[in-house]
Structure 1
Amino acid sequence: MSNFKIFKDWLTQVSFLTDQDCSLFEPYLKTKTIKAKEHFLVEGKICRETGFLNQGCFRTYYLNEGKEINTRFIFEHEFVTDYDSFLQEKPSRYFIQALENTEIVSFNLKALQNAYNQSKNWERFGRIMAEQSYKMTTERVESFLFLDGEQRYLDLLNNQPHLLDRIPLYHIASYLGLERESLSRLRKKIVHQQRL
């Protein structure tokens, strides 16, 4: 299966985009491989492309007093980008780093705007992408406003259990706003409660 075919199949299965819509876009697509630990984006640079992840995973993080704070993990069939930086062509506050060897299909803003101009379906797709980005950001902010560390961990167990299979615990601790030792204690406590 070609690298572009994975992206095209996903687009036509999960959205209203037609084969014709995808054909409009295909000339602008590029395939890239990014090795584990390499960066897709660094703080202070403009995010010039959005990538559809064929395989592998990434993390998004920022630095706070020299400490890395994870904000998101990105897996197969998700988009890797700093959407705000990408759309507004402004410097990013984030780093995006590959945690595994990855393969992406990427496109730039000009390609997306060209697709918007040629097809109402692409415009609609762009709106849905923006809505999903807003929803993820809101859920993240509200989890820190309204839940404590234990509740955030339980929420992760219920809604994103796959993270525990592929992401090192110290990255998950940072994502949850916990110290690594606190997360270890919390995991033991929950396992103990489940046995009772």
Structure 2
Amino acid sequence: MNTTNRGTKIAFQYPFKQKKIEKMFTGLISMMKLHNPELQEAAIDEIISCCEVISFNKNDILVDYGEVCRHVYFSVTGLVTALENVDGKERNCWFMTAGDVVIAIESFYKQQKSMEQLLALEKTTCLAIHVKDLNRLCEKYPSFLEVRLKLTEYYYQQAFDRSKWIFRSAEERYALLLEHYPVLVNLVSARALASYLGISEGYLSAIKKDYYSISS
């Protein structure tokens, strides 16, 4: 294993020798085939050969402020947050869990310095592809390009829908979070969740208490 300050790269062989690694890639390919069942076997083989398996410990940084996001990460396990620094205060912008695509969006697509930080909130394992390999694979395999386009559309729509939450009250935003992303409410700490909602932990606690008293 090759350890860096950006996580630990885990060596693997393909065809697979390790069941755990094989399971990770089975999940990735299944997700891609949901977006395009016609993804070719040749493309799958090359996608796997271009991937790195990286394990991040809690508080490891995937992308730091001022860095260019040069990899797309497919989260296998764990929890990652996107942070932004506004007037010296950090704020949680969003959270990514197992099964999610993890990138610093603007930095990745424009290949410019990131205005946000991607931070592992717990031990996290990802499959990573460098942007150069990603672009080359899209040029070589139209079936993989379709996967990329559909994933981009899917996450863009999610981000667009969430952007409209800003006009809602904190209570309404918490209810929307429970409705659309219930897993996050159990995974994310109260501090990080309050930061995302733009309220204090005390106010979040009061919202939870009122919400569950009404629901019960």
Same fold (TM over 0.5): yes
Residue from 191, 195, 198 that aligns with 1:177: 198
The number of residues matched between the two structures is 194
Counterpart selection for 2:58 from 29, 36, 45: 36
Within 5 A, what are the aligned runs for 1:1-12? Answer: 1=19, 2=22, 3-12=24-33
1:125 and 2:147 correspond = yes
Q: Which runs of 5+ in 1 are unaligned?
A: none
Q: Runs in 1 of length 4+ with deviation above 4 angstroms?
A: none
Give yes or no for contact 2:81–2:121 (8 Å, CA) kept in 1.
yes
Match of 1:37, as an amino acid? N
Over the residues paired in the alignment, what is the CA RMSD in angstroms? 1.6
Structure-1-length-normalised TM-score: 0.91
The sequence identity of aligned pairs, in percent, is 21
Letter aligned with residue 6 of structure 1: G
1:88 to 97, 110, 114: 110
- The DSSP-based 3-state class of the residue aligned with 1:40 is strand
Kindly indicate whether the alpha-carbon contact (under 8 Å) linking 1:53 and 1:102 is maintained by their aligned counterparts in 2: yes
* Structure 2 partner of 1:64: 86
Q: CA deviation at 1:14?
A: 4.8
Query: Which of 154, 158, 163 in structure 1 is aligned with 2:179?
Result: 158
Residue 4 of structure 2: aligned partner: none
- Equivalent residue, structure 2, for 1:111: 133
Between the aligned partners of 2:201 and 2:60, the Cα distance in structure 1 is: 24
* TM-score w.r.t. length of structure 2: 0.83
Give the letter for the 2:125 counterpart: E
C-alpha contact (below 8 Å) 2:78/2:124 kept by paired residues:
yes
One-letter amino acid of the structure 2 residue matched with residue 109 of structure 1:
V
